[in-house]
Chain A
Amino acid sequence: MDDLPHDGTPLASLPVGGRGVILAVRAGDAVGQRLLDLGLVPGTPVEVLRRAPLGDPSVYELRGTQLCLRRSEAERVRVRRAP
């Protein structure tokens, strides 16, 4: 699962208010496994709710919860942007 599809956008580059559907997560290590366990699996809809005043981390809405991730973790997730 280490190769990410080139067509996706990194979750970290979605603007605030942007929505998308998760395409892939760079797994293979503990961090990736945990992101999958948190429900960031392909097919999950996700929305960027807001960023912290200093630009990082950001709050994402997915699976009925608001999850706060740093840029470094959000870079591992590729999404297909929804219009």
Chain B
Amino acid sequence: MSEVAADPALRLGLVGSPNSGKTTLFNALTGLRAKVGNYAGVTVERREGSVDLDGRRAVVIDLPGTYSLNVIGPDEAVVTRVLSGAVADVPPPDAIVFVADACSLDRSLLLVAQVLRLGLPACLVVTMMDELTARGGSLDVAHLERCLGIPVLGVVGHRGVGLDPLRRLLGHPEGWSRPAILPPDDAAERAGWAASVLESVLHVRPGRSATTDAIDRVVLHPVYGTLLFAVMMVLFFQLIFAWAQPAMDFLDDSMGALAEGLAAILPAGIVTELLTEGVIGGVGSVLVFLPQILLLFGLLYLLDDLGYMARAAFVIDRVMGRIGLEGRCFVSLLSSYACAVPGIMATRTIPSPRNRLATILVAPLMTCSARLPVYALLIGAFVPEKRVFGPLGLQGLVLLALYLLGAFTALAVAAILKKTLLRGEGLPFFMELPPYRVPTFRLWISQVWQSARAFLRRAGTIILLVSILLWASLHFPRIEATPDATPEAAAQLALEGSLAGRVGHALEPFIAPLGFDWKIGVGLVASLAAREVIVSTLAQVYAATDESLSLREAIRADRDPATGRAIFTPATVASLLVFFVYALQCTSTLAVMRRETNSWRWPAFAFTYLLALAYGASFVTYRVVGWLAPV
């Protein structure tokens, strides 16, 4: 069969409902060689992998899980459009491999009926044959093959049972039998057809999984279930907020050491500075997200494969339903409290594209950890340390108020988006609670790996580029200080003369109504790299020797040279805090939004609406606080 290698690759489309074991089978067939991308124009993940099937080169396309071919909206339409060859850069598959879970064949056959009517060569792979046996069921695979008129094969995907015969079968779709009579088209007749097929092939129906029932009695118990949910969510939060920190610090230190090492070896000069500060700093700003992403997706996929994430969504759905979202959005929003980058990536597990988009658009409103240094600086410098009520201090209350302001605005914006721009396409809310399953290490690791790789390749490149550009704008054009100037004064002079410094100056007329002067303007420009950068930039602007104590004193003491009035009045501080609650001052978040929505349109929309919100809210805050506390 040597001439077969010259054939163009065979294209096989995997079709099946969510939880059918389709992804497990895809990973078992393709290993870690899958390519993950997006279908043009929709927020639907596209996954393909090339394999060798019985000596023949083939591309396996993992189509999004679906319950029906009667599609609602453009995102669901991807499956039918790919199958009919209507997607420009995706050639239609030569054959369909239908994947169905042995224990829910009853429901899967409804989709099989629709797929068979497409007329493409098709075969049926029945997964989780072991679970069927464990639940006391018995299926006559040979008879099912006769009933459907297409090849049928039983496998246990995660154990690799039946994969060799499957590879042999998949390699030769020309030889597959075709059904003599097509199943009916009408939903009720289709259900009748499925029932009659099942009647003759399923000797014993599987019972309900006793294990799943026993676990659910605890996991979905009104009291214990709620407690477990709370514990799990605290775990998610801790994971990104605190436990990722050592790894992030280590990466930060390593990049710093690498930069220092290189600076010591290379000749001093502009190229070395670009390399050590710009490039290595930029790479560092990409890598620093990896610990959070790996930890978040590690836990998320583990719990999802186990079957818990659907239960967690079930427990919290009522609350999220109030604002037009669904239970699955909760984890994303919660994760965004630590950082919007992993939070937005976690929206991948939200099945409804509109809910996913709404979650992506409001995630930056959750108070991420990058805002904390900014809040700490301003609150520490200007909010008096006094007890208000018991152990509650005024500083803590202000911080709490900022958190709540972000969260409530996020919920309000989500509700508004779902009523206007992202009004439902009439998709009903439904969710399957899969039986609990022990996840396989292989599948878990490949899912986590694919997420991290997608981040590095698609978002990382943008973050790297922007970091280098922002670094350059803070260092060019170069202004050399006189030799007798202190290092702080030299840095201050260099920053003022830089492009960012000039932009900060140019921005002054626009930000003056918010109570900001040009120094804050420079800080805002620099903070586009990451919010906390405003702290180190202000330190540079004020030629402060350290970022905590002397910077606090410096901004407290700063006076307008013309009027002699304080720059940081209560109104300005309040206005700046509110600005940081709202503005999307984070290019990494924008890059990830671009990656997840597959267009610049949504990040542009998010940036614009959040800037408008920040500007408006800061303007009002500046006036109101200025009126309440005149200087």
Q: Do A and B come from one complex?
A: yes
Q: Which of B72, B103, B110, B220 contacts A39 (CB 8 A)?
A: B110
Instruction: Kindly report which residue of chain B lies nearest to residue A53, judged by CB atoms.
Output: B222
4 other A-B residue contacts (CB within 8 Å) besides A50-B216, A53-B222, A55-B318 = A39-B110, A43-B191, A64-B103, A73-B428
Which A-B residue pairs are the 7 nearest by beta carbons?
A37-B68, A36-B187, A54-B318, A63-B106, A30-B426, A66-B433, A41-B191
A selection of 25 A-B contacts at a CB cut-off of 8 Å is A29-B426, A30-B427, A31-B426, A34-B427, A35-B428, A37-B70, A39-B107, A39-B194, A43-B191, A43-B192, A44-B191, A50-B220, A52-B314, A53-B220, A56-B318, A59-B220, A63-B104, A64-B206, A65-B432, A66-B432, A66-B433, A68-B317, A68-B431, A69-B428, A69-B429
Is B554 an interface position by the 8 A CB rule?
Answer: no
How many angstroms from the CA of A35 to the CA of B433 in the assembled complex? 16
Q: Does the CB pair B427–A42 fall under 8 Å?
A: no
Is B604 an interface position by the 8 A CB rule?
Answer: no
- Tier of interface size on chain A: 20 to 34
Q: Does the CB pair B427–A31 fall under 8 Å?
A: yes
- Tier of interface size on chain B: 35 or more
Residues of chain B within 8 A (CB-CB) of A52 are 220, 314-315, 317-318
Q: How many A-B residue pairs have CB under 8 A?
A: 113
Interface residues of A, Cβ cutoff 8 Å to B: 29-31, 33-39, 41-44, 49-50, 52-57, 59, 61, 63-70, 72-73
- Tell me the smallest distance from the CB of B124 to a CB of chain A, in Å: 16
Residues of chain B within 8 A (CB-CB) of A64 are 103-107, 205-206
Point out which of A29, A54, A56, A64 has the most chain B C-beta atoms below 10 A from its C-beta.
A64
Q: Does the CB pair B220–A42 fall under 8 Å?
A: no
Is B208 an interface position by the 8 A CB rule?
Answer: yes
How many angstroms from the CA of A77 to the CA of B68 in the assembled complex? 19
Is B627 an interface position by the 8 A CB rule?
Answer: no
Q: Does the CB pair A56–B317 fall under 8 Å?
A: yes
- Tell me the smallest distance from the CB of A8 to a CB of chain B, in Å: 16
Within 8 A of A (CB), among B66-115: 67-68, 70, 72, 103-107, 110
User: Known contacts A37-B110, A64-B206; is A56 also within 8 Å of B321 by CB?
Assistant: yes
Residues of chain B within 8 A (CB-CB) of A56 are 317-318, 321
How many angstroms from the CA of A52 to the CA of B222 in the assembled complex? 7
Q: Does the CB pair B106–A33 fall under 8 Å?
A: no
Instruction: Kindly report which residue of chain B lies nearest to residue A65, judged by CB atoms.
Output: B104
Point out which of B110, B430, B431, B432 has the most chain A C-beta atoms below 10 A from its C-beta.
B430
